[in-house]
Structure 1
C-alpha cells in the first residue's frame, strides 16, 4: 500500500479517465502529482465505450494510443436510422487525422492503460481516500482526507465526477437539468447477420437506441426508456431491439454480459476555477451520451490543464496561463452540452408529424457533403482542436 504524502505540487481527487490522464500527464512532465480516490478499487465496467479521434491524438503523448487502438474496434461511420431506413450517414474516413474512425473500447480498458502509464511514471492511485475538505491561502491549498490526513499542495483538481465533493466544497453551481427519461445500458452478444463495425442510432417514437460494436464480439446497447429497470435483462434488451431495431434482419440477444441503468443530466459548472482549485471531466460538465463525447471531452480537459499547470510550476509561466484553461475549455463543454442536448431532443420526438418532418430533414441533409464533413468533425471533436 502506498503511503499518503504530506505534500505535492498538485493534488488530484477522482481516478476516472480524466483524473488518470491528468495525473499521468503531470508526472510525465516532471510535476509531483498525487491522485486519491474514494473507492477501494476501480469500477471495472465498460461504461463509456467510444474514444474519438481527437482524444486518440491527445493521448499519444501518454503512449497509450497504440494499445488502445489495438484493443478496440474501429467504427468508420455513424448512421442514423428509423428501423430499416437510413436517414443520415456520418463517415469518418476523410477526417484530417491519423485516426479516421470512432474507436469502440470499454472504459475499463481505457482506465487500465492510463493507470498502467501512471504507474510506469512512478505514480499510483491512493485508495480509498476521499477528499472531504479544502483550505486555500495565497501560497497553496490544503486537502483534508476522510481520515483527517492533510496534503499540502500548490494546486488541486477535482476530477471526482458528477457528484463532485470538490465542486461542492468550492460552492460552484452546477447549472442545468435532468432528462425525464431514464437510460438502459447493456453489453450483449447478438445473433445478427447484418452486424458490422459501425455505430447505429435508431430513432423511434419510444425513444433513441444506440447499437455499437465492442471488442470480443459484443455490442453496446444504450436506449432511452420511460422507467428503466435497475438491472435490465436479456428480455428487456430484446424488447428494445424488436420494437426499435431493424425489421428485415432482426438482432437476437444470446447473452447479457453486463447491464445497468442511469439518468442523464445536462449540466455545466458555472466556473472551472476557484483560486488554486480547478475542475475537470464530469465534475465540470455532464451531458447526454448521444455522440459518445463525455469521457472524451473530460480527458481533453485533463491534458490541457496538465500542460498549463506544468508551464506555471516548472517553467515559471504567468498566472494568465491558468486563467486560459477555463476560457478555452468551458466554451467547448458548453457547445458539447448544447449539441448533445439537441441530438437527444431530436431523437426522442414523440409527435408523428414532427417525426416525419425530422426524418425528411435528415434525409435531405444526407445529400449534402458539407453536412457530413461538419458532423464528422463535430462528433470526432477535431473541430475543437487548437
Structure 2
C-alpha cells in the first residue's frame, strides 16, 4: 500500500491536516488507534484566529452553527471582575470566541473529510518508520505502507515522534487538572467565559450549548471521576461567593495531567509533527487545540504546495514559523497560571494591576488579540517579508 501523506492521529490536529490535504487533491491516509472517536474531550473553545484558519478549509461555518458565541472573556476573583477582554471588538470576521466541545469539532472535521471520500482507518497502530530516501516506509499493525511524508498528530505520547528520534524537552514536573461538563444554577452570564483566579489554582467556567457548563480546574490530585460533591466544593472554593453556583447534574467528569514540553524540531526529513505531538502546555487561555489546528492547516498547506511543485524548503519554513509560535503560546499559558496562583500577600497588588490594565483600551485590545490568536498574524507577516 502507498499514500502521498500518512497522518497518524485523528484528533482535531490530524483531521484538520488531512482535510487541508484532501481539499488540495493530495492523497492522504489517516490512522487512529482508537476504535471510536471519543465523545468526551477537554478542549472547549475555538478562538477567532482559529476560525479564520478553519474557514480556509471550509470548516468554520458548520462549526459555528453548533456552538455558543461569547463576545467577552472575564478574569475574576470570586465576585469581583478584574478584567474584561472584549472579543466583540476584534478585527476579524469572527469577533467572538466559540464555545463548543472538542467532540463536536472533531465530528465536523470528520464529516467534511467523509464528504471528500476520506475515512479514518481506526484500530490501527504505527509500529515502525524507516527513511527510504524518497519517503518513509511505515509499519502499520505489521503491514508495510509507503508514504512520501508522515505527519505525527498523535498527541503527548506520540509514537511518530519517538520513532523519528525527535527529542521532547521540558521540565519533569506536571500539572493536574479536573474537568467536567455539568448543569448548574448560576447567575453568571451564559454568553461569557470566565477565568476565576484563586490561591489553590485557576478555575475556568465556560458555557457550552444546551445549557451545559464546562469546568476546568487545576488541583493537587484530581480524582479519576469527580462527582457532584467534589465539583460543588471546587465552585464554593473558587467561584462566585455572594450568589454561589449550584451543581444540579454532572454529565461527565475526568482528570488529566499536563507537562510543559516542546519537540526539538517539528521536522526530521520526511517526518513532521503538529499539535500535542510537538508541544504541550497548561490549558489556561484555551490555546492548546487552537494552536494544533493552526499547525495542521499550515502544515497541510505547505505539504500540498510541495506536491504542486513547490520547494522542499517550504517544510523547513513550517518548522521555522510554528515552533516559535508554540514557544510563545507555552509562555503565555504558563504566565496565566502563575497569575492565578500568586501568594495571598500579593493578590491585592495583582488585582489592582488587572483593574488598571482593564481600564486602558489599547492594552485591553492587545490582550484580546493575544487570547484570540490574532496576534499570530503579525508573526506570519514578519516571516513572509
Give the match for residue 360 of structure 2: 368
Give the Cα separation in 2 of the matches to 1:141 and 1:194.
Answer: 52
Give the match for residue 113 of structure 1: 108
Give the Cα separation in 2 of the matches to 1:193 and 1:49.
Answer: 21
Give the Cα separation in 2 of the matches to 1:332 and 1:134.
Answer: 28
Once the two structures are TM-superposed, the CA of residue 194 in structure 1 deviates from its matched residue by: 3.2
Q: Displaced runs of 4+ in structure 1, greater than 3 A?
A: 178-181
Give the Cα separation in 1 of the matches to 2:56 and 2:348.
Answer: 46
Structure 2 counterparts to residues 371-382 of structure 1, below 5 A? 371-382=363-374
Give the Cα separation in 1 of the matches to 2:216 and 2:172.
Answer: 17
Give the match for residue 383 of structure 2: none
Choose 196-205 or 9-18, whichever is displaced more.
196-205
Which of residues 180, 186, 195 in structure 2 aligns to 1:201? 195
Give the match for residue 330 of structure 2: 337
Give the Cα separation in 2 of the matches to 1:245 and 1:206.
Answer: 12
TM-score by length of structure 2 reads: 0.96
Give the Cα separation in 2 of the matches to 1:140 and 1:228.
Answer: 43
CA contact (8 A) 2:175 2:259 kept: no
Which of residues 275, 292, 299 in structure 2 aligns to 1:305? 299
Once the two structures are TM-superposed, the CA of residue 178 in structure 1 deviates from its matched residue by: 5.3
Give the Cα separation in 2 of the matches to 1:309 and 1:103.
Answer: 28
1:14 aligns with 2:14: no
Structure-2 change in CA distance of 1:179 and 1:81 (3 Å)? farther
Question: 1:251-289 CA deviation, whole Å, 9 max, x = no partner?
Answer: 100000110011121111110011100000110011111
1:256 aligns with 2:257: no
CA RMSD in angstroms, aligned pairs only: 1.1
CA contact (8 A) 1:132 1:145 kept: yes
Give the Cα separation in 2 of the matches to 1:234 and 1:178.
Answer: 32
Which of residues 38, 41, 44 in structure 2 aligns to 1:43? 38
Give the match for residue 97 of structure 2: 102
Give the match for residue 143 of structure 2: 149
Give the match for residue 282 of structure 1: 276
Give the Cα separation in 1 of the matches to 2:99 and 2:172.
Answer: 27
Once the two structures are TM-superposed, the CA of residue 360 in structure 1 deviates from its matched residue by: 1.8
Give the Cα separation in 1 of the matches to 2:201 and 2:143.
Answer: 48
Give the match for residue 3 of structure 1: none
Question: 1:274-330 CA deviation, whole Å, 9 max, x = no partner?
Answer: 1100000110011111110100100110111111111111x2111111110000111
How many residues align? The count is 378
Once the two structures are TM-superposed, the CA of residue 64 in structure 1 deviates from its matched residue by: 2.1
Unaligned runs of 5+ in 1: 1-5
